[in-house]
Amino acid sequence: HGTSRVNEKGHLEIGGCDTTDLVHAYQTPLYVYDEELIREKCRAYVKAFEASGFRFQVAYASKAFMCMAMCQLVMEEQMSLDVVSAGELYTALKAGFPAERIHFHGNNKTEEELEMALDAGIGCFVVDNFFELELLHDLAQKKDRIVPILLRLTPGIEAHTHDYISTGQDDSKFGFGVASGQALQAVKVALNKPFYKLLGIHSHIGSQIFDTTGFVGAVEVLGAFLEQVRAETKYEVEVLNLGGGFGIRYTEEDDPLPVGEYVKVITEEVRRQFAITSYPLPEIWIEPGRSIVGDAGTTLYTVGSVKDIPGIRKYVAVDGGMSDNIRPALYQAKYEAVLANRAGEEAVDMVSIAGKCCESGDMLIWDYVLPKANPGDILGVSCTGAYGYSMANNYNRIRRPAVVFVKEGRAEVAVERETYEDLIKNDRVFPRVLSRSV
Ligand code: LLP
Give residues with Cβ within 8 angstroms of 161, minimum separation 6. none
Does 245 appear as a known binding residue?
yes
Q: Do the beta carbons of residue 386 and residue 293 sit within 8 Å?
A: yes
Does residue 174 sit in helix, strand or coil?
coil
The answer on pLDDT for 169 being more than 80 is: no
Give residues with Cβ within 8 angstroms of 20, minimum separation 6. 9, 11, 340, 341, 378
Count the helix, strand and coil residues of the chain and give each as a percent rounded to the nearest 5.
Answer: 35, 25, 40
The rounded Å distance from CA 289 to ligand 1 centre is 7
The answer on pLDDT for 122 being more than 60 is: yes
Ligand 1 pocket test, pick from 172, 287, 292, 330 with the greatest ligand atom count within 8 Å of Cβ, gives: 287
CB atoms within 10 A of CB 369: 10
| Tally: H helices and E strands in the chain | 12, 23
Residue of minimum CA distance from atom 7 in ligand 1: 207
Give residues with Cβ within 8 angstroms of 87, minimum separation 6. none
Q: What pLDDT, on the 0 to 100 scale, is given for residue 386?
A: 98
Residue of minimum CA distance from atom 23 in ligand 1: 387
Q: How far apart are CA 413 and CA 229, in angstroms?
A: 50
Give residues with Cβ within 8 angstroms of 40, minimum separation 6. 2
Q: What pLDDT, on the 0 to 100 scale, is given for residue 163?
A: 46
pLDDT digits (tens, 9 = 90+) for 133-168: 999 999 999 999 999 999 999 999 865 444 445 666
Kindly report the three-state secondary structure assignment for every residue of 49-87: HHHHCCCEEEEEEHHHCCCHHHHHHHHHCCCEEEECCHH
What is the torsional sign of CA 318, 323, 327, 332? positive
The rounded Å distance from CA 144 to ligand 1 centre is 33
Q: What pLDDT, on the 0 to 100 scale, is given for residue 162?
A: 46
Atom of ligand 1 nearest to the CA of 387: 24
Q: Do the beta carbons of residue 33 and residue 296 sit within 8 Å?
A: yes
Does 368 appear as a known binding residue?
no
Categorize the per-residue pLDDT at 170 as very low, low, confident or very high, splitting at 50, 70 and 90: confident
Q: Do the beta carbons of residue 136 and residue 149 sit within 8 Å?
A: yes
Atom of ligand 1 nearest to the CA of 288: 13
Atom of ligand 1 nearest to the CA of 247: 15
Ligand 1 pocket test, pick from 173, 174, 207 with the greatest ligand atom count within 8 Å of Cβ, gives: 207
Residue of minimum CA distance from atom 6 in ligand 1: 244
Q: How far apart are CA 11 and CA 339, in angstroms?
A: 8
Q: Do the beta carbons of residue 324 and residue 331 sit within 8 Å?
A: no
Question: By CB neighbour count within 10 A (0-12 exposed, 13-18 middle, 19+ buried), where does 438 fall?
Answer: exposed
Task: Give residues (CB < 6 A) around ligand 1.
Answer: 61, 64, 82, 105, 165, 204, 207-208, 243-246, 287-291, 327, 331, 386-387
Domains annotated for the chain, with CATH where assigned, are 5-33+294-424 (2.40.37.10), 66-288 (3.20.20.10)
CB atoms within 10 A of CB 144: 7
The rounded Å distance from CA 387 to ligand 1 centre is 9
Categorize the per-residue pLDDT at 1 as very low, low, confident or very high, splitting at 50, 70 and 90: confident
Which helix (H) or strand (E) is 367 found in, with range?
strand 363-370
The rounded Å distance from CA 311 to ligand 1 centre is 40
ipTM of the complex, rounded to two decimals = 0.99
Distance of CA 357 to the CA centre of its chain: 24
- What DSSP state is assigned to residue 164? S
Residue of minimum CA distance from atom 19 in ligand 1: 207
CB atoms within 10 A of CB 25: 13
pLDDT digits (tens, 9 = 90+) for 60-83: 999 999 999 999 999 999 999 999
Ligand 1 pocket test, pick from 290, 295, 322, 330 with the greatest ligand atom count within 8 Å of Cβ, gives: 290
Q: At what angle do helices 259-276 and 35-52 cross, to 10 degrees?
A: 20
Please give the torsion angle defined by the CA atoms of residues 65, 66, 67 and 68, in that order, rounded to the nearest 10 degrees.
Answer: 130
Categorize the per-residue pLDDT at 225 as very low, low, confident or very high, splitting at 50, 70 and 90: very high
| Strands 56-61 vs 410-415: parallel, antiparallel or unpaired | unpaired
Q: How far apart are CA 415 and CA 97, in angstroms?
A: 18
Give residues with Cβ within 8 angstroms of 367, minimum separation 6. 350, 351, 352
Does residue 257 sit in helix, strand or coil?
coil
pLDDT digits (tens, 9 = 90+) for 404-438: 999 999 999 999 999 999 999 999 999 876 666 66
Does 387 appear as a known binding residue?
yes
The rounded Å distance from CA 100 to ligand 1 centre is 22
Q: Do the beta carbons of residue 346 and residue 330 sit within 8 Å?
A: no
Q: How far apart are CA 118 and CA 74, in angstroms?
A: 22
The catalytic site residues sit at 358
Omega within 30 of 0 (cis) for the link into 29: yes
The H-assigned helical ranges of 168-310 are 182-191, 213-233, 259-276, 290-293
Q: pTM of the prediction? A: 0.96
Q: What pLDDT, on the 0 to 100 scale, is given for residue 168?
A: 66
Region 375-381: mean pLDDT is 98
Mean pLDDT of the chain: 95
The rounded Å distance from CA 290 to ligand 1 centre is 7
